[in-house]
Structure 1
Amino acid sequence: MLGRHMSNTPTLLVQLPSVPYRIELNLIFVIADFITAMLLRLTGQNLQLAYRQFLRSKKLLNLLETSRNVDAGDVASLVFLWNPFGILTCVGGCTSPIENLMIVLSLYGACSSLPSLSAFGWVIATHLSLYPAILIVPIILLLGYGPDSPPKKLFLLTSMKPARSHPLEQSHEQVSSVDNESELQVHHFSWQPVMSFILWSSIWSFYVLVLCSIFLKDFGSLSEMLKKSFFLIVFHINILFMILPLAIRLKHRPCFLAFVYIAISSMLKSYPSVGDSALYLGLLGLFVNELQDIRFSFFLFFGYIGVSLLSPVMHNLWIWRGTGNANFYFATGIAYACLQTLLVVESVNAVLNHDRMLRKQLTA
């Protein structure tokens, strides 16, 4: 879990040896993490603005005041910057900060309705690692529907008019129904940014493939790289079975869906690294308002601390001292996977419970 994770893409491997000193290489990764934190902050501001607009339109003033006390963007950026996993990634010279930067850049571009920027981040992230390819589903949902918001059926609750009412009340109800219709129109799927994203993705993909063919001129051909990638695709194809069910259930929260995909990818990777955990823990801070009632938070917090401390100890006992065996280290890895599974399950449960709470608030 705490091992090095170096990207095997030709474009990155060709560029990294040009850096003369290890300190300068680590400085590049620190700058990448800092930019990622700033993008997380901007993404959190976009998500919280959409959330507050919904609460304001539905007159949920109590929840609106609560959301103003916590800035999701600041929480996400601070969690990402001061996360020990992220610090270890930079100190160890891992290339995960570059991949994390591209992933967050694609999500920020989708939340900000910038298809070209989102396509660039998604193409480069997919080139560095195969797993970000599944993020095309939440990115398309973000571009089509906009930032995360409660389900459409919640907008329909206040548009239902009573059977009998005063004429003056009827006029107000007609105005409110018009507002609700406009809200529903805002949440209709828009194909224009999606088509723009597909066009830009094709352009960036062609550009990356051309660069790969140039860099691989002395080491083989582009077809040789694709043959090696074919084994990786087949080996990790099990993650594809989770894409559709989660997308159907969480299509109204595409950014949270991206967090779930990234967390599941970090669990199913054959060689996970601490950089993967640093990314999804930072994304988790974007939903601090929705996750206020998450269960087992105390257990999860100290469980991550315990696993983080035990992992290097067990590795040292197994590899260097010879007083332990591989089962000690593998047991720590299994405990770490269980913690990640519990975190994903409870996070999804908390977000869905938050949507049910909003429904109760509107029907009260």
Structure 2
Amino acid sequence: MFPSWWWPCKLSQQYIEFFFLTSSAVTDVSQLVVAVYLLSPYSIANCIGMSTTVFSNLLIAFSVACTVYGWWVPTAISLALETYKSFYPVMLLVPALLYFTQVNAAKNPACRRYNTAVLLATLSLFTSVLVCLLCASYYLCGSWSFISSTYGFIWSVPDLTPNIGLFWYFFTEVFEHFRTFFLWTFQLNAFIYVLPLAICLRKDPILLFLVVLALIAVFKSYPSVGDVALYTSLLPLWKHVFPHMKQYFLIGCIFIASTALAPILWHLWIYANSANANFYFGTTLDGFIWSVPDLTPNIGLFWYFFSSSLEACILTYEAILSHWLHLHCFYCISPNPMAPVDICQQCQCQFLFWHYSGIQHWSDISYHRFAIRSHEEKVLH
């Protein structure tokens, strides 16, 4: 007979088995990401408009792929190229460095000097490539005046042509003597969230990539639909957490409605002269300022708190054998935690929840979750 506290564990087993990815789901994710990007109306509109954002998306996607593989040299070069082009992607260096920290800690857990050397080498290469590109531009132009026409144009926002961003409408209405103050405020708004997000999502740097890309698409001075196409195509990477999100139906409806209404209200304003700028700006404000920031933190916060709970769950034989130890390896960066046998190589425990050696005393079992505080500290030998 099972102990009296077994019934919550049965519920948690069903919940966790529903949450975890299967091998077939992992295989389908890459195909789904490609399909979403190629068939997205934002990507199609971006290609029809012949925007240079496609080259930015190429460099960013290449940098993310190189980061996942642990290739710090092409990551630093591609991010330097994209930063040279539009400056805002410099924030993507933060999740890349966090990921390299985890990868290097897994390869050399006892060698912190190697980890520090890789981080310094990545930063040095990034800075060197960016400086070389700026010097090459100076050599071709004969002066540094190109900075005011590139980065200066991005920072000062002199062109207030309507787009899907925030700047054009606000700076059309603001008084001139307040312009500098709000310009600094708006520009800092794109960068100020990176540090707290990096602290919160330090264990999930790939998710931090997505959140930073979404923030760039919202708060950059001259966004385009190509920026939206890039980060929305990465959302299927976390499709297994979508059922656990709150208000995802409402967010999806607002996002779709804003996408459909934006070109309609643009036509009514510019061509039919039957609407004004408030209609179009209100649509973009609802779609890209309310739903987008609400979407990614829902994924991020859920994944952050639930991943902490995953480390505190006692799973049954099937869940531990097929899923949990592999994901635990990902979280604690311990290499090769188990072989395809029924005995853990590290703690020699049986894969039954009441025999799991992470428990020292039954009082460690909480009502809502089953606590294993640390796989290294609480293993019984």
Residue identity opposite 2:227 in structure 1: D
Aligned to 2:256: 305
The offset of 1:185, in angstroms, is 3.1
In structure 2, the CA distance between the partners of 1:65 and 1:347, relative to structure 1 (3 Å rule), is: closer
Secondary structure, counterpart of 1:310 in structure 2: helix
Question: For residues 328 and 268 of structure 1, what CA distance do their matches in structure 2 show?
Answer: 20
The aligned counterpart of 2:199 is 248
The structure in which a higher percent of residues are helix is: 1
Q: Number of residue pairs matched?
A: 271
User: Is the Cα contact below 8 Å between 2:200 and 2:304 reproduced in 1?
Assistant: no
Q: 2:278 aligns with which of 327, 333, 336?
A: 327
- 1:361 equivalent in structure 2: 313
Q: Radius of gyration: which is bigger?
A: 2
Partners of 1:305 and 1:144 lie apart in 2 by 38
The 8 Å contact of residues 66 and 74 in structure 2, kept in 1 or not, is answered as: yes
CA offsets per residue over residues 204-227 of structure 1, 9 Å max, x none? 11331133124423x864565565
Higher relative contact order at CA 8 Å, sep ≥6: structure 1 or structure 2?
Answer: 1
What amino acid is aligned across from residue 292 of structure 2 in structure 1?
A: Q
Instruction: Output one character per residue of 1:46-80: Cα deviation in whole Å (capped at 9) or x when no partner.
Output: xxxxxxxxxxxxxx994797432312322222222
Conserved? CA contact 1:106–1:121, under 8 Å: yes
**Which deviates more from structure 2 when the two are superposed, residues 230-239 or residues 353-362?**
230-239
Aligned ranges for residues 51-90 of structure 1 at < 5 Å? 62=17, 66-71=21-26, 72-90=29-47
Compared with structure 1, are the counterparts of its residues 296 and 186 closer, same or farther at alpha carbon in structure 2 (3 Å cutoff)?
A: farther
- Give, in angstroms, the shift of residue 253 of structure 1: 0.6
Distance 1:87 1:104 in 2: 17
Question: Match of 2:99, as an amino acid?
Answer: L
Structure 2: stretches of 5+ with no match in the other structure: 1-14, 158-182, 315-369, 372-381
* Aligned position for 1:191: 116
- What percent of counterpart residues are identical? 24
Q: Provide the residue aligned with 2:293 in structure 1.
A: 341
- 1:167-221: per-residue Cα shift (whole Å, max 9, x none)? xxxxxxxxxxxxxx9899389792232222123213311331133124423x864
Give the TM-score of the pair, scaled to structure 1.
Answer: 0.66
Residue 328 of structure 1, CA deviation: 0.9
Provide the C-alpha distance between the structure 2 equivalents of 1:280 and 1:286, rounded to a whole number of angstroms: 11
Instruction: Quote the residue 2:164 is aligned against.
Output: none
- Identify the residue that residue 173 of structure 2 maps to in structure 1: none
Tell me, yes or no, if the aligned pair for 1:105 and 1:121 is still in contact at 8 Å.
yes
Distance 1:331 1:182 in 2: 48
Q: 1:328 to 1:198 in 2, by over 3 A?
A: same
- Is this contact kept in 1: 2:46–2:226, CA < 8 A? yes
Q: Which residue of 1 aligns with 2:130?
A: 205
Report if the CA contact (8 A) 1:100-1:279 is conserved.
Answer: yes
Over 3 Å counting, the alpha-carbon distance change for 1:227 and 1:320 in structure 2 is: closer
Q: 1:96: how far off?
A: 0.9
Indicate if the aligned counterparts of 1:80 and 1:278 stay in contact, CA closer than 8 A. Answer: yes
Is residue 109 from structure 1 mapped to residue 66 from structure 2 by the alignment?
yes
Deviations 1:142-172 (A, max 9, x none): 111139xxxxxxxxxxxxxxxxxxxxxxxxx
Counterpart in 1 of 2:234? 283
Q: Give yes or no for contact 2:98–2:202 (8 Å, CA) kept in 1.
A: yes
Residues of 2 paired with 1:220 and 1:352: CA distance? 44
Note the 1:131-150 alignment, pairs <5 A.
131-146=88-103
Q: Which amino acid aligns with 1:129?
A: S
Letter paired with 1:352? Y
SS across alignment from 2:313: helix
- Residues 270 and 206 from structure 1, CA distance in 2 versus in 1: closer, same or farther, beyond 3 angstroms? closer
d(CA) in 1 for partners of 2:258, 2:19: 37
Which digits, 9 at most, give the CA deviation of each residue in 1:261-317, with x for residues without a partner? 111121212332111111111222222234442222322333222111100100111
User: SS of the counterpart of 2:89?
Assistant: helix
SS in 2 for 1:270: coil
Distance in 1 (alpha carbons) for counterparts of 2:285 and 2:62: 31
Partner Cα separation in structure 2 for residue 350 and residue 125 of structure 1: 30
- Distance in 2 (alpha carbons) for counterparts of 1:63 and 1:185: 33
Residue 11 of structure 1 corresponds to: none
- Answer yes or no: is the 8 Å Cα contact 2:155–2:187 preserved in 1: no
Q: Could you tell me how far apart the structure 2 residues matched to 1:267 and 1:98 are?
A: 19
